[in-house]
Structure 1
Amino acid sequence: MARTGSGRLPLFAAMRESIKEGYTLQTLRGDLLAGITVGIIAIPLGMALAIAVGVAPQHGLYTGIIGGLIIALTGGSRFNISGPTAAFVVILLPITQQYGIGGLLLVSAMSGLILLALGLARMGSLIQVVPYPVVMGFTAGIGVVIATLQIKDFFGLRNVGQHESYVDQLQALVQALPSIQPGDTLVGIVTLGVLMLWPRVTRKIPGHLVALLVGALLALGLMHFGLPVDTLGSRFSYVMDGVTHAGIPPIAPHWVLPWTLPGADGQPLAVDFNLLRELLPAALAVAMLGAIESLLCALVADGMANTRHNPNAELMGQGLGNLIVPFFGGITATAAIARTATSVRSGARTPMAAVFHALVILLAVVLLADLFAYLPMASLAAMLLIVAWNMSEAPHVVHMLRIGPRQDVWVLIICLVLTVLFDMVLAVGVGLLLASVLFIKRMADLSQGSKKPIHSDAALAALPESVALYQINGPLFFAAADKALNALNRYDEAIRYLAIDMQTVPSMDMSALVIFQKALQDLEKRGIKVYLIGVRAPLRLKLKRAGMGAVRGSRRYVARPSQAARHIREDLAEQQSEAATL
């Protein structure tokens, strides 16, 4: 397929570039090692994140297999490892609660179509306009929500339930504290301790693997001595050949129509226009977050490996992955920063590392599914607590709260609080609105107009007192135009010539054009001739199209003050000549 510049679809961009550079045995060795390493990490994470969004753990594994494979092959980043991520928990959990797994998979497919449209429209670069305080605020808020949701399984609390409101969920957790289970709590604490301390021992063996093994062995020992511990097998089950088995089915992802799966009422979804309209806001939020997280992840990987990704190809790859994965039982997929960074550090060279990661998960599902039933829920909760902590970037947030500009700090805090108390969609919407208003204010503060003494410019210094100089700086738009132009009409009757220095005015919007035209007309009605100095070509064309061309020798466009001075001298000389003739 042709390159993006040819106008054709940029699919398979990263894979094509990797093949073009040549695929050696050394490259294969690096990709294989990275794929195995990340695959081992992705297995428990995939199950834990699926549980966190309210579905059976196998759906998270199917996401890593199908989504990870398709996105790696078709996307625009060499290193992105895609699968279920913690960022989506706060969006997907309410969908599962309200529409069941059928609605959840339908939202994933709809978000895939939106991402495809963004890639086709070459919108990859526009994602960069989301302000950093907004991103930091909602990601930190998501981390807080994820950590709160893990308290139940970490301590083995009973009768907590799922609540739509964060405050209600927190209240239910507090009320359930007397039901703390010592077995689950001990397993959770030990697993958390291993996860925190293992990186200090070695990074060659993934800490997730060691922590889960320790947690599972401890849980088996506790249950042997009669202390109950909640496991994946005691929480989830499946039916095969009429027999109920604990854990997850040892079956590879297979074709399924999302709308045939049960909704919240246990019945298959009735897909119609009303349902799609109800799910559209969630699909837009999922697509937006998936685009932001995937492109940020690609930037991180590029920084680590000194490469460049194709943002539009990555959006299209993410779109295809999310469009197809629900038809194999997978939930929303996006690039995972932690897994991608691990892959790069483990020697990944091409998208084949992500392909191998997907194959490792597939082998684990087919060969090791029975063993997953022994994984303690407290251990999976501990693992997500670490994910939430890393995602929240709490030390960095505290640092930014201390040193950041006050206005940006308030944007960050508001996004964080809204994400926790309400939802991410509202938080991002309000954050973008606040950031936009603050940006407009800052730009308006930079835009200003002021009277200048005529002698402040050497070219105009020798002109008589009937000549005035006005200087405009910065872009002129609706929030700045009135302030920058309000002094134009405050010249006394002695002024006959006005030179307006516009060399540092890059643009004008419609509001500024209207105000500027009115000001010029008022000046000319008073017999004041206006000279516009240094107007840039695109802006000059815009002014002339708006009706601000030359009128009776006025509104002359000149490149430099010296040219305005020459025209004024010529006009004065002509007036003196006419007066002498009379």
Structure 2
Amino acid sequence: MLNRFKGYTFQDFRKDLVAGFIVGIVAIPLGMAFAIASGVRPENGLYTVIIAGILISLLGGSKYQIGGPTGAFVPILLGIVMQYGFQNLLIAGFMAGIILVIMGLLKWGSLIKYIPRPVIIGFTTGIAVIIFSGQIANFLGLKKVEKHEEFHLNMMAIADKIYTFNWQSVAVALTCLFLLIIVPKMTTKIPPALVGLLGSTLFALLVFPDKIPTIGTTFGDIPNKLPELQFFELSVEKLVYLLPPAIAIALLGGIESLLSAMVADGMKEGSKHDSNKELVGQGIANMVTPLFGGIPATGAIARTATNIRSGAVSKVSGVTHGVVVLLVLLLFSPYASHIPLASMAPILMAVAWNMSERNQFMHVLKTKTMDSVVLLITFLLTVFTDLATAVIAGLILAFAAFIRRMSSSLHINKVQTIENGMVQQEYEGIQVFTLSGPLFFGSTNQLEEHVSNKHKKGVVILKLQNVPYIDTSAEAALLSLTNKVTRQNGELIIVGLQPDPKRLLEKTGLAGKIGHHHFFDRMEEALQRAQTLLRTKEVSMNIS
């Protein structure tokens, strides 16, 4: 801790306080809005901002990460609340924290690099559609709209209640939306969400008192204190029952937190996060937060970016942001009951619009490649089924597309004229095949098709200088080729085998079966050995 703050000055502290105050003010309306959209009370979102925000900043692997409830969690948390209930959501969040800690200790943080971009864009855009559509009812002031897990049922429910349209709610929502659009054009020092929330709330109180639904009329008053620490009653049956949602929360939380940390590194020169430490910090935060009624949290990309733009220097800014929200909760929470739900809707819609990655979505779609298919499938499954199904299907499709591309990247050529003109292909008994590309389970069929099925009796030389990788499936194919050549009274010679593939063949014993004296670095040596073998076999045949 002392090394971390070595060289930290009072000027740095001032910058962190300013940045933390700004981010804290931004986090207040978002915390409540994300909680409401997730099917829980607004104060649960504030508890998450405070406790998870402070712990993630203190224990995480990024200097600038801001943690809390996020839009990406909204669909999955709403589904869990509807299917399992709020109390079980807290338990699932606690279990997800344990899973994240285990992932960090196992050093799985670097796996985020292997999630294809089309999958990330697909589910992010799908989540944005769900968030945006989920706020239509509040924007229009519709009454008694039943919520469902399925997107199409939610749209049907909105259409069914469209006659309950409340023009006062629309007026308040449009006021908030106008402020969200106009404020950034006037100044970058004031959070648009805060101005939109306060401005539209004041407008509603003055013009439409008691005419539209508010936080107070819907959820009751927000307590001006943190809840008492509570422990869960756990059993093996309950843990097994809640394991699927816990895994879903952990995977999404891990992905988003590491994406946010990567964004922070890109924005701040010289910044480099520790991905495994970040997972552990996120995990501990998600284990503690549910004990105080908080919902699952992760790294918030937009708030992290705001933190950096506001001049943050260290983790102190993230801690400050949590303290600011705590003070607001203690001092001003009774006033939050007057906030109209119609004021929250445009804020969440703006969040959805900004997180949709619409430009990247269209860019990948225009390529008309397999990446476009992966993107569309992930997007549609996110919207119409659930996030876990979408990500798994997207990864499987992306994996299949990768295997197909990699298998076609292996090129096998039968050499017609061997180096230096020393031996022509017509030279009886010697065949040379040049392989270029990875030799693995997806490309072994080419080895069989172009070499095993086409070689003639005699010596077979495989040039493997340009084969960077061989897996055990390819090793088995080479063993089969070796046995086939041996049965035909021939010999297999390997030229230019790279270190990593050579180590595999040594471990499996195939190198010994082929014969260590049949491995050469240079083609000239291999040809001389081949000619010697052929002469030896000719003498042997004559004698017999």
TM-score (structure 1 length as normaliser): 0.89
8 Å CA contact 1:530, 1:555 repeated in 2: no
Counterpart selection for 2:510 from 516, 537, 548: 548
Q: Deviations over 1:35-82 (max 9, x none)?
A: 000000100110111111111100100001110111111111000000
Structure 1 window deviating more from structure 2 (539-548 vs 465-474): it is: 539-548
Determine the structure 2 residue equivalent to 1:262.
none
State the partner residue of 1:385.
Answer: 349
* CA distance 1:16–1:74, shift in 2 (3 Å): farther
Q: Distance in 1 between matches of 2:476 and 2:543?
A: 41
Structure 1 gaps of 5+ residues are: 1-14, 238-246, 260-270
Deviation at 1:570, TM superposition (A): 3.9
Which digits, 9 at most, give the CA deviation of each residue in 1:151-175, with x for residues without a partner? 1111110121211221111100011
* Corresponding residue number in structure 2 for 1:241: none
Alpha-carbon distance in 1 for matches of 2:455, 2:277? 61
Contact 2:66 2:304 (C-alpha < 8 Å) held by counterparts: yes
TM-aligned CA deviation for residue 178 of structure 1: 1.0
User: AA paired with 2:267?
Assistant: M
Look up the match of 2:45: 60
What corresponds to 1:235 in structure 2?
A: 218
Tell whether 2:145 aligns with 1:160: yes
208-217 or 42-51, which deviates more: 208-217
SS at match of 2:294: coil
Task: Report what 2:312 is aligned to.
Answer: 348
The answer to whether structure 1 residue 319 and structure 2 residue 283 are counterparts is yes
> 2:123 aligns to what?
138
Over the matched positions of the two proteins, sequence identity in percent amounts to: 39
The 5 A counterparts of 1:96-495 are 96-224=81-209, 228-237=211-220, 247-258=221-232, 271-306=234-269, 307-402=271-366, 404-455=367-418, 457-458=419-420, 460-461=422-423, 464-491=427-454
1-side partners of 2:291 and 2:343: how far apart?
30
1:393: Cα distance to partner?
A: 1.7
| Mapped contact 2:37–2:78 kept (Cα < 8 A) | yes
Distance 1:52 1:17 in 2: 41
Report the Cα distance in structure 2 between the residues aligned to 1:212 and 1:165, rounded to whole angstroms. Answer: 29
Task: Work out the CA distance in 2 between the residues paired with 1:554 and 1:124.
Answer: 40
Task: Say yes or no: does 1:51 pair with 2:36.
Answer: yes
Question: Alpha-carbon deviation of 1:550?
Answer: 5.5
Tell me if structure 2 keeps the 8 A contact 1:450–1:484.
no
Distance change >3 Å, CA 460–CA 503, structure 1 → 2: farther
Given residue 257 of structure 1, which amino acid in structure 2 is its aligned partner? F
Offset, 1:205: 1.0
Contact 2:444 2:477 in 1 (8 A): yes
Deviation at 1:304, TM superposition (A): 0.8
Greater Cα offset, 512-521 or 414-423:
512-521
Relative to the length of structure 2, the TM-score reads 0.95
Q: Residues of 1 paired with 2:85 and 2:148: CA distance?
A: 15
Structure 1 residues 541, 74: closer, same or farther in 2, change over 3 A?
Answer: closer
Give the CA deviation at 1:257: 2.7
CA contact (8 A) 1:137 1:412 kept: yes
Q: Deviations over 1:339-359 (max 9, x none)?
A: 000010000010100000000
User: Contact between 2:100 and 2:250, CA under 8 Å: does it hold in 1?
Assistant: yes
Q: Structure 1 residues 491, 116: closer, same or farther in 2, change over 3 A?
A: closer
DSSP-derived class of the 2:135 partner: helix
Check conservation: 1:123, 1:312, Cα contact below 8 A: yes
Q: Distance in 2 between matches of 1:314 and 1:521?
A: 51
Q: Which amino acid aligns with 1:175?
A: D
Shift of 1:571: 4.1
1:538 deviates by: 3.4
Q: 1:389 to 1:491 in 2, by over 3 A?
A: closer
Rounded Cα–Cα distance in structure 2 between residues aligned with 1:78 and 1:528: 63
Letter of the structure 2 residue corresponding to residue 430 of structure 1:
A
Q: Is the 8 A contact 2:179 2:196 kept in 1?
A: yes
Contact conserved, 2:51 with 2:285, CA < 8 A, in 1?
A: yes
User: Aligned partner of 2:51: which letter?
Assistant: I
CA contact (8 A) 2:179 2:195 kept: yes
Question: What is the SS of the residue equivalent to 2:462?
Answer: strand
User: Does structure 1 conserve the Cα–Cα contact (< 8 Å) formed by 2:230 and 2:291?
Assistant: yes
Equivalent pair of 1:183/1:222 in contact (CA under 8 Å): no
Specify the alignment match of 1:539 in structure 2.
501
String of CA shifts for 1:375-407, please: whole Å, max 9, x gaps. 1111111100001111112233122212x3510
1:459–1:562 CA contact under 8 A, matched in 2: no
- d(CA) in 2 for partners of 1:67, 1:345: 22
CA distance 1:89–1:538, change in 2 (3 Å):
same
Once residues 356 and 416 of structure 2 are traced to their aligned partners in structure 1, the CA distance between those partners, rounded to angstroms, is 54
Q: Which runs of 5+ in 2 are unaligned?
A: none
